[in-house]
């Protein structure tokens, strides 16, 4: 008979951080729905789940000290509205020696720093769009327009909209200044790759399993709208872009492209020391060249999210996926 475990579902409680002028924090609030889906799945598996919203880390640590769980199901994407602390929370789980699901602090930190990720990709000759980084207004531009402008240390497409693609130095200066003022961090500027966009979901660990490839459809976009997955397209159901960029899974692609997408995704997952699960986002240009945009460790696994759709397309039940993550975590220590 399998051991019945007490599993804490840890997630960042960012409800108080969202105001009408900060809709860019909606993605953090959405983690509550993700936690509810995981909670029900753990119940269905016969374990005892408890919600563990992270509000005040010192008080939260006292709770863990008084009644340590068998495991933490880690869904934390930040702390008190700041995504930079995602890696720090997993570091705490390691310091207090509680097994947890998902990726390590090292992987989370590497993936969140887009510039460092791109330099690692380049070191292994894995194609990624050409880029420059600016801490202030650009002086010299070595890239070819159009360009796409992003915050360096954010995820979930935070800070990315249709206005992120720029066609001139004037537009570039304005966008860089806007991101500097709003997010108080360096700005990543990349050459915009016009083409198809794919998400390759990976289920770890040994052996790795590649789930069916998903494609973001841009067929409903009109002339003048850039083929990108913006923050609005991912997180705001009432926004037109949310409905104009649906994901198609499995993607309608030939065997050669599928094999190349899977191969490059595995390279990225291993390079960034992915664990348990993750997603690699890429663009494919008109010559079928693949460019890696980013690696997303611990992607959203709510039932209506892209990763769960890939799980379903692979013929797996949601509970089977959650059980797999629990099994992986229970077979290792906090530091493994």
Looking at the fold, whether 187 and 202 belong to one and the same domain comes out as no
Looking at the fold, whether 180 and 213 belong to one and the same domain comes out as no
Tell me the per-residue pLDDT of 232-248, one tens digit each, with 9 for 90 and over.
Answer: 656 556 666 666 788 99
Tell me the per-residue pLDDT of 62-79, one tens digit each, with 9 for 90 and over.
Answer: 999 998 999 999 999 888
Portion of the chain with pLDDT greater than 70, in percent = 88
In a domain, residue 184? The reply is yes
Looking at the fold, whether 41 and 68 belong to one and the same domain comes out as yes
CA atoms within 13 A on the CB side of 302: 15
- Say which residues have a Cβ less than 8 Å from residue 303's Cβ, sequence separation at least 6: 37, 318
Q: Where are the beta strands (DSSP E) in 155-289?
A: 165-166, 187-191, 196-203, 209-210, 214-216, 247-248, 277-284
Looking at the fold, whether 187 and 198 belong to one and the same domain comes out as no
pLDDT band for 203, please (50, 70, 90 cuts).
very high
Looking at the fold, whether 50 and 134 belong to one and the same domain comes out as no
Q: What's the mean per-residue pLDDT of the chain? A: 89
Tell me the per-residue pLDDT of 169-179, one tens digit each, with 9 for 90 and over.
Answer: 999 999 999 88
Looking at the fold, whether 178 and 205 belong to one and the same domain comes out as no
Final residue of a structural domain among 166, 191, 216:
191
pLDDT at position 9 over 70: yes
- Say which residues have a Cβ less than 8 Å from residue 80's Cβ, sequence separation at least 6: 12, 14, 17, 55
pLDDT of residue 155: 63
pLDDT of residue 246: 87
Tell me the per-residue pLDDT of 17-67, one tens digit each, with 9 for 90 and over.
Answer: 544 454 455 555 678 889 999 999 999 999 999 999 999 999 999 999 998
- With beta carbons less than 8 A apart as the criterion, state whether 151 and 179 touch: yes
Domains held by the chain: number:
3
Tell me the per-residue pLDDT of 180-195, one tens digit each, with 9 for 90 and over.
Answer: 888 888 899 999 999 9
pTM for this predicted structure:
0.91
**Among the listed ranges 15-24, 118-127, 197-206, which one has the minimum average pLDDT value?**
15-24
pLDDT of residue 184: 83
Tell me the per-residue pLDDT of 305-315, one tens digit each, with 9 for 90 and over.
Answer: 999 999 999 99
Radius of gyration in angstroms for the set of CA atoms belonging to the chain, rounded to a whole number: 20
In a domain, residue 119? The reply is no
Domain of 244 in residue numbering reads as 194-316
Final residue of a structural domain among 164, 191, 218:
191
Looking at the fold, whether 242 and 272 belong to one and the same domain comes out as yes
More confident residue, 267 or 80: 267
Helix, strand, or coil here: 105? helix
Q: Which among 6-20, 21-35, 142-156 has the top mean pLDDT?
A: 142-156
CATH number at residue 157: 3.30.1490.20
- Say which residues have a Cβ less than 8 Å from residue 282's Cβ, sequence separation at least 6: 197, 198, 200, 261, 264, 265, 290, 291, 292, 293
pLDDT of residue 211: 98
In a domain, residue 267? The reply is yes
Looking at the fold, whether 308 and 276 belong to one and the same domain comes out as yes
**What DSSP string runs through 148-165?**
EEEETT--TTTT--GGGE
Average pLDDT over residues 194-223: 93
Q: Which among 10-14, 152-156, 262-266, 328-332 has the top mean pLDDT?
A: 262-266
In a domain, residue 143? The reply is yes
CATH number at residue 242: 3.30.470.20
pLDDT of residue 3: 81
pLDDT of residue 31: 83
Final residue of a structural domain among 191, 211, 242:
191
What are the CB-based long-range contacts (under 8 Å, 24+) for 64-67?
A: 64/8, 64/96, 64/98, 65/96
Looking at the fold, whether 29 and 53 belong to one and the same domain comes out as yes
Looking at the fold, whether 214 and 302 belong to one and the same domain comes out as yes
- Say which residues have a Cβ less than 8 Å from residue 59's Cβ, sequence separation at least 6: none
pLDDT of residue 16: 45
Portion of the chain with pLDDT greater than 90, in percent = 68
In a domain, residue 245? The reply is yes
pLDDT of residue 215: 96
């Amino acid at each position: 008979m399998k051991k019945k475990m007490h599993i804490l579902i840890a997630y960042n409680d960012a409800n108080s951080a969202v105001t009408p002028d900060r809709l860019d924090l909606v993605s953090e609030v959405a983690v509550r729905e993700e936690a509810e889906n995981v909670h029900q799945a753990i119940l269905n598996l016969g374990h005892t789940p408890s919600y563990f919203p992270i509000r005040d880390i010192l008080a939260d640590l006292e709770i863990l000290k008084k009644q340590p769980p068998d495991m933490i199901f880690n869904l934390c994407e930040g702390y008190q509205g700041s995504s930079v602390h995602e890696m720090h929370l997993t570091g705490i789980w390691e310091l207090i020696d509680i097994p947890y699901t998902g990726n390590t602090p090292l992987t989370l930190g590497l993936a969140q720093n887009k510039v460092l990720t791109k330099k690692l990709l380049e070191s292994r000759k894995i194609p990624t769009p050409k880029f420059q980084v600016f801490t202030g207004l650009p002086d010299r531009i070595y890239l070819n327009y159009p360009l796409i402008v992003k915050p360096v240390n954010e995820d979930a497409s935070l800070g990315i909209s249709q206005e992120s693609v720029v066609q001139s130095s004037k537009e570039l200066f304005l966008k860089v200044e806007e991101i500097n003022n709003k997010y108080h961090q360096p700005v990543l500027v990349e050459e915009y790759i016009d083409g198809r966009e794919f998400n390759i979901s990976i289920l770890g660990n040994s052996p790795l399993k590649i789930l069916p490839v998903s494609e973001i459809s841009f067929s409903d976009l009109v002339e003048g709208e850039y083929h990108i997955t913006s923050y609005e397209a991912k997180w705001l159901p009432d926004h037109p872009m949310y409905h104009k960029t649906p994901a198609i899974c499995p993607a309608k692609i030939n065997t050669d492209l599928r094999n190349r997408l899977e191969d490059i995704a595995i390279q990225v997952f291993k390079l960034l020391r992915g664990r348990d699960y993750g997603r690699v986002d890429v663009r494919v240009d008109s010559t079928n060249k693949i460019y890696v945009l980013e690696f997303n460790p611990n992607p959203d696994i709510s039932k209506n999210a892209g990763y769960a759709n890939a799980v379903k397309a692979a013929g797996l039940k949601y509970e089977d996926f959650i059980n797999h993550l629990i099994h992986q975590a229970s077979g290792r220590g906090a530091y493994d």
